[in-house]
């Protein structure tokens, strides 16, 4: 019995730690020795928890299980932790033919497609019995870089560039952002080198500088299509929460960016959520609400947008990117208030 209890303890994964979040950049990219610079990946944020015997759990930012969805990643660390338990923070990404993250491919994988996925690790929150939340970022990075995954095609320790690293090669942070643009990456994350890890908090010590504007949205209904889309979805009706009142309000719609299969899948997802009345707290413009099919607001998606009008709270020039099963409906707020 003692041996069974010992074995049970070795297979017990550490407790879930809610990820720390970054704030949206409001100023130009910091060019300061107090910061380090990382690539911004285009995937699902995920916490990897590993027991002493290697038993692994992958969880989304809101603690939904990803282990069964991405089983290839569950054993990818092998013996590299040498019997130590661990909690890692990173991003699950799908890679295109050139090895670049592609959010659309990740959607296909989630729907059962065969595409290569990897876990890109950028922080370590626990290793062995050492909890590292109160250690500064630069110390956590040194610990992280001591881990050697056996298959870097499945798990990779992502690079972090100090200000000195960039200066030594004649580069500035702005130059690094240009590299991200050239490589088709999503942007940069800028992190204060002395920052502690604040679980569940959106901290100004981490700043995201995206190259494209994206936003999570609550799908609240759809309008039927016409022409080639007759009998299918023409556009999704989108909502977000007002941070002051908590009300779910209409912020626009999206009708582009869908493949035919994505429309078929969306219709299948939304059919069981059908309802007779609008879930919005405010009134939807008549031309947008005409013929609308309303749904219970339980699903989160992501769109690219060119403009957000703060007075009307409207997204302009939108395109669909995909579903976000790693996000909670209650956490989706109107742009500029996250």
Report the chain's mean pLDDT, rounded to a whole number: 91
Contacts of 206 (CB under 8 A, 6+ apart): 20, 21, 22, 23, 189, 190, 191, 192, 195
- In-domain check, residue 20: yes
Enumerate the active-site residues.
40
- Closest to 325 (Cα-Cα) out of 69, 101, 131: 69
Mind listing the pLDDT tens digit for each residue in 40-89? 998 999 999 999 999 999 999 989 999 999 999 998 998 899 999 999 99
Over range 212-238, report the average pLDDT: 93
Contacts of 205 (CB under 8 A, 6+ apart): 191, 192, 195, 198
Assess whether 198 and 128 both reside in one domain.
yes
- In-domain check, residue 273: yes
Cβ–Cβ < 8 Å for 185, 95: no
Alpha helices in 67-153 (DSSP H): 103-110, 137-144
- In-domain check, residue 4: no
Over range 208-228, report the average pLDDT: 93
Compute the radius of gyration of the chain from its Cα atoms: 21
Total domains, the chain: 2
Assess whether 185 and 237 both reside in one domain.
no
Predicted TM-score (pTM) of the model is 0.81
Assess whether 206 and 316 both reside in one domain.
no
Q: Which domain holds residue 196?
A: 15-210
At which of 172, 191, 210 does a domain end? Answer: 210
At which of 192, 210, 228 does a domain end? Answer: 210
- In-domain check, residue 78: yes
- In-domain check, residue 5: no
Mind listing the pLDDT tens digit for each residue in 153-187? 999 999 999 999 999 999 999 999 999 999 889 89
- In-domain check, residue 182: yes
The domain that contains 313 carries what CATH number?
Answer: 2.40.50.140
Assess whether 178 and 298 both reside in one domain.
no
- Closest to 67 (Cα-Cα) out of 51, 40, 48, 87: 48
Task: For residue 270, give the H/E element and its range.
Answer: helix 260-270
Assess whether 238 and 284 both reside in one domain.
yes
| Pairwise pLDDT comparison (294 vs 316), residue with the higher score | 294
Question: What dihedral angle (degrees, nearest 10) is formed by the CA atoms of 323, 326, 328, 332?
Answer: -60
Assess whether 297 and 242 both reside in one domain.
yes
Which segments of 225-305 are extended strands (E)? 233-241, 248-254, 274-275, 293-304
């Amino acid at each position: 019995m003692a041996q069974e209890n010992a074995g049970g303890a070795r297979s017990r994964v550490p407790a879930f730690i809610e990820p720390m979040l970054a704030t949206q950049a409001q100023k130009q990219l910091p060019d300061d020795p107090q910061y380090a610079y990382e690539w911004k990946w285009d995937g699902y944020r995920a916490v990897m928890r590993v027991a002493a015997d290697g038993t692994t759990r992958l969880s989304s930012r809101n603690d939904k299980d990803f282990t069964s969805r991405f089983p290839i990643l569950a054993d990818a660390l092998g013996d590299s932790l040498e019997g130590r338990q661990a909690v890692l923070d990173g991003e699950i990404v799908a890679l295109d033919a050139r090895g670049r993250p592609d959010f659309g491919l990740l959607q296909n994988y989630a729907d059962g497609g065969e595409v290569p996925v990897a876990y890109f690790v950028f922080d370590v929150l626990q290793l062995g019995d050492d909890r590292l939340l109160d250690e500064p970022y630069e110390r956590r990075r040194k610990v992280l870089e001591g881990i050697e995954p056996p298959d870097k095609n499945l798990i990779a320790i992502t690079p972090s560039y100090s200000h000195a690293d960039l200066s030594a090669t004649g580069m500035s942070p702005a130059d690094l952002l240009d590299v991200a643009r050239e490589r088709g990456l999503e942007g940069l994350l800028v992190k204060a080198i002395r920052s502690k890890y604040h679980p569940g908090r959106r901290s100004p010590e981490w700043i995201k500088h995206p190259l494209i504007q994206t936003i999570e949205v609550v799908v609240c209904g759809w309008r039927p299509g016409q022409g080639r889309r007759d009998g299918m979805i023409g556009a999704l009706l989108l909502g977000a929460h007002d941070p002051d009142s908590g009300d779910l309000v209409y912020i626009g719609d999206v009708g582009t960016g869908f493949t035919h299969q994505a429309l078929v899948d969306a219709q299948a997802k939304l059919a069981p959520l059908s309802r007779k009345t609008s879930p919005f707290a405010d009134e939807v413009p008549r031309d947008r609400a005409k013929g609308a099919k309303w749904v219970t607001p339980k699903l989160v998606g992501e769109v690219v947008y060119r403009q957000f009008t703060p007075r009307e709270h409207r997204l302009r020039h939108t395109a669909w990117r995909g579903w976000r099963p790693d996000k909670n409906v209650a956490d989706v707020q109107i742009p500029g208030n996250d």
